[in-house]
Amino acid sequence: MKDVDEFKTWLTDRGAEILAPTNPYEVLRFRSSRSVSVIYQNNKGRRSFTGEASDAFDAFKAGRKWTAGFNRRRYYGGEKARLIETLLARDGNECCLCGRPMPDDDMTVEHIVPIGAGGTNHQNNLGLAHEQCNRKAGHMNAVAKMRLRDELRSAQP
Ligand SMILES: [Zn+2]
């Protein structure tokens, strides 16, 4: 796959480490300072992306800037960085409210049910959101938040 081969070079030039695929459906696996990301391709040629793969591939195609060098642990601190990594692995890099990708330095942990309303710090009650979206959601209850989520998503160009 020519585009993937060029993407590999592009990633390497930006500090990412290309890793060996672990199964036949992986067309590309790479590591940045933030995470390990994979591009899968099924029998029908349909691709799916994990971690930063989609963000990086979009940047590659659009000629946008991207670097593998952002150090999440340094930026957020170890404990929060680990939580962010867990949530990224589960949910991908989209804001749980507006659905848009989150830049490396703009990830906040959103409580779906606020602590004040009986929500917990368990991962089931957590998602990642832009700081601005998180602030908009404030202490809204879960239903109001679902409405906000719909609003933010329908407001997209
Ligand atoms: Zn958002």
Domain holding 18: CATH number? 3.30.310.10
Cα distance between residue 48 and residue 40, in whole Å? 5
Q: Which domain holds residue 16?
A: 2-62
Shared-domain flag, residues 58 and 76: no
From CA 2, how far away is CA 45, in angstroms rounded? 14
Q: Give the Å distance between the CA of 130 and the centre of ligand 1.
A: 4
Where is 93: in which H helix or E strand?
Answer: none
Task: Give the pLDDT mean for 42-51.
Answer: 94
* DSSP strand pairing (36-41 vs 108-111): unpaired
pLDDT band at 14 (very low <50, low <70, confident <90, very high): confident
Q: Tell me how far the alpha carbon of residue 76 lies from the centroid of ligand 1, in angstroms.
A: 18
Q: Is the pLDDT of residue 74 over 80?
A: no
- Dist. CA 108 → ligand 1 center (Å): 10
pLDDT score recorded for residue 68 = 87
- pLDDT exceeds 80 at position 157: no
Mean pLDDT, residues 111-117 taken together = 90
pLDDT of 156 strictly over 80: no
Q: Give the model's pLDDT for residue 148.
A: 96
Q: Does one domain contain both 90 and 144?
A: yes
Report yes or no on 67 lying in a domain.
no
pLDDT of residue 64: 94
